């Protein structure tokens, strides 16, 4: 049995009924006004609250509240929100500033052993330390800090420039790149034509990883990608030493299980055997100890004037253009590689560079080159 309302229905003019119909069918009206107009029209049609709620996709409380406003205040008030007194602002601007200032300090400055703030610790400290914040919630603290883009529970790292001569060393590297550009354009002086510039770096710790179970290939319409067991075996690590010829784009490389002066000397010997003896080989490299070790210096003494080293500044490895090559091989080969035996890793790296050298690409440095002038 349907329960019937005992409240007398308000009187509606034809104009009001027409307006309610327009609002209910409108695509530009606020959704809440459209819903309320529908509720009122269904009420006029003598539908029950339950049916009205189901028809307008709202709950019964919404129907009751709308009809209560209709009976008490009329159609216009039923379609709109009643004015509210407003809740007094509990967090003042001074409180917000205090919270932000607190978040920019360290917990240890306030007697806590923690290295970083947590939202819970911030909330607890704020409640104890500031009477006006004794009831502040964790979510309020979170919202205030989020709005100010402060994340006191996170750490971001940077590398401080500790090389006092960084600018001069960077200028030297850029000068070398400018000379390479001139040589490659065919307008170099004779003394530059006898110099080949090699951008060199090492990549130690390349892991040889072996699968414990077979990979599953993609299946059209079912599995879009290769599926791989997350477990693997470690077969050892390999170091890659590579030099990029900035004139031809060709790469000279060696791999080794170790990473020491002997490996670097072996690389230099391979370079020495790859170029005519009258050519000066100028290497751009970082100031790693093995590059200036006693063993390395002894070898260099046996090939006087053959090699010239140009060192990047400390924390300035990004100035070495070979890093672009290392980034590429990491992305396209090393990141996801799996091998069945350790030697396979070396073989596939060698194969990678063999293919690269068949279609070499000349890498060019562009950063600040317009500001670099050859005197």
Q: pLDDT, tens digit, for every residue of 54-66?
A: 999 899 889 998 8
- Average pLDDT over every residue of 40-45: 89
- Average pLDDT over every residue of 150-166: 74
The model carries a pTM of 0.59
CA distance linking residue 220 with residue 172, whole number of Å: 54
Q: Which residue has the higher pLDDT, 162 or 301?
A: 301
> Residue 345's closest CA among 269, 258, 266, 257?
257
How deeply is 99 buried, as exposed, middle or buried, from its count of CB atoms within 10 A (0-12, 13-18, 19+)?
buried
Residues ≥6 apart with Cβ < 8 Å to 202: 239, 240, 241, 242, 259, 264, 288
> How many C-beta atoms surround the C-beta of residue 320 within 10 A?
22
Long-range own/partner contacts, residues 191-195 (CB < 8 A, 24 or more apart): 194/278, 194/279, 194/280, 195/279, 195/280, 195/281, 195/282, 195/308
- Average pLDDT over every residue of 321-329: 92
DSSP helix/strand/coil, 307: strand
* CATH superfamily entry for domain 165-358: Ribonuclease H-like superfamily/Ribonuclease H (3.30.420.10)
Residues of the chain above pLDDT 70, percent: 90
pLDDT digits (tens, 9 = 90+) for 2-40: 444 556 677 788 888 888 888 888 887 888 889 999 998
Tell me the domain boundaries of the chain: 14-79, 93-148, 165-358
pLDDT number for residue 123: 92
């Amino acid at each position: 049995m349907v329960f019937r309302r005992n409240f007398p229905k308000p009187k509606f003019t034809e104009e009001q009924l027409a307006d309610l119909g327009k609002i209910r069918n409108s695509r530009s009206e606020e959704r809440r006004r459209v819903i309320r107009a529908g509720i009122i029209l269904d009420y006029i049609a003598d539908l029950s609250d339950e049916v009205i709620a189901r028809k307008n996709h709202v709950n019964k409380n919404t129907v009751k509240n709308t009809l209560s406003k209709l009976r008490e205040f009329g159609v216009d008030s039923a379609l709109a929100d009643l004015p509210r007194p407003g809740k007094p602002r509990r967090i003042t601007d001074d409180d917000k500033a205090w919270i932000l200032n607190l978040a920019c300090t360290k917990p240890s400055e306030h007697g806590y052993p923690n290295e970083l703030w947590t939202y819970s610790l911030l909330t607890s400290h704020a409640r104890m330390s500031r009477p006006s914040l004794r009831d502040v919630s964790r979510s309020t603290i979170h919202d205030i800090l989020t709005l100010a883009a402060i994340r006191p529970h996170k750490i971001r790292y940077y590398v401080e420039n500790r090389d006092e001569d960084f600018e001069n060393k960077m200028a030297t590297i850029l000068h070398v790149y400018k000379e390479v550009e001139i040589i490659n354009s065919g307008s170099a002086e004779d003394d530059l034509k006898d110099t080949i510039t090699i951008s060199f770096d090492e990549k130690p710790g390349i892991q040889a990883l072996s699968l414990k179970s077979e990979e599953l290939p993609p299946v059209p319409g079912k599995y879009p990608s290769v599926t791989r067991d997350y477990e693997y075996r470690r077969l050892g690590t390999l170091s890659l030493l590579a030099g990029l010829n900035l004139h031809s784009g060709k790469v000279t490389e060696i791999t080794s299980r170790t990473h020491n002066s002997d490996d670097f000397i072996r690389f230099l010997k391979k370079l020495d055997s790859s170029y005519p003896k009258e050519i000066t080989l100028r290497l751009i490299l970082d100031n790693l100890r093995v590059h200036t070790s006693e063993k390395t210096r002894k070898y260099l003494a046996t090939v006087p004037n053959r090699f010239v080293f140009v060192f990047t500044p400390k924390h300035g490895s990004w100035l070495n253009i070979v890093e672009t090559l290392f980034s590429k091989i990491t992305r396209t080969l090393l990141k996801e590689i799996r091998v069945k035996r350790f030697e396979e890793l070396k073989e596939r790296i060698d194969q990678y560079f063999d293919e690269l050298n068949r279609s070499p690409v000349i890498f060019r440095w562009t950063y600040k080159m317009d500001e670099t002038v050859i005197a």
